Structure 1
């Protein structure tokens, strides 16, 4: 039993062979996938703009809080500057605990410190960072 394959072209049903049918749907599925990726990444296509020059209404994203993004970027920069003011050992401890997600116990072992001693040192470093960042709040 031979299966028949059809595609619609300009509203007309056209019989095609299996190879053309599969290639068509492979391309169609790939195109849909790319559109989905574009939507996920908030990509705006030029073809989606009004053709009368009113672009602003087409590109405004009401869920996009520019003020919050700028504030977050400023906070990140302030934290970077504060971390740069720490000495190498303090920066290493904070980096390992908060950026490398190492445990206090493992950092204490490699630093040849007791667990409570490292906690005390960490707390002093955090207090120093709070002081350096006090003007940011």
Structure 2
């Protein structure tokens, strides 16, 4: 029996992710549902209720909320997830160890029995690969 595969859906397409990314995604999603239930309990009006004429952004003016920035960040996250999905399993594992699990280069190098400089070079190469994939998008 093979290792369980984890996927999240981005724009209707299943994107393979690590178990850690999958769990983090669902933790955030469940928290959003919890906040929504709390809003209902206290009669908080959702932004979508303001979209009675198709001009949602024009119906609300709040200088503190930059909706364009929020949408832009969400799109960047989707593009990053697509780019991460193109990495090899070994590349993805290294990126997850460094950025999601916050492991140090030294601890990773000890596990893999290579110098931490070698891990740093590998990290830099992967980040450059991601940067090139993403620079066309933004």
Considering the TM-score relative to the shorter chain, is it more than 0.5?
A: yes
Alignment of 1:106-121 (within 5 A): 106-121=107-122
Q: Is the 8 A contact 1:83 1:129 kept in 2?
A: yes
Quickly say closer, same or farther: Cα 1:60–1:105, change in 2 above 3 A: same
What stretches of structure 1 move > 6 A for 4+ residues in a row? Answer: none
CA distance in structure 2 between the partners assigned to 1:106 and 1:71 by the alignment:
35
Consecutive unaligned residues of structure 2, counting only runs of 5 or more, are 1-37, 47-56
Q: Which has the higher contact order (CA 8 A, sep 6+)?
A: 2
State the aligned residue count.
89
TM-score (norm 2): 0.56
CA distance in structure 1 between the partners assigned to 2:58 and 2:111 by the alignment:
57
- Aligned residue in 1 for 2:126: 125
- Aligned residue in 1 for 2:89: 88
Q: Which has the higher Rg, Structure 1 or Structure 2?
A: 1
1:60, CA displacement in angstroms? 4.6
TM-score (norm 1): 0.56
- Aligned residue in 2 for 1:10: none
CA distance in structure 2 between the partners assigned to 1:57 and 1:105 by the alignment:
52
- Aligned residue in 1 for 2:136: 135
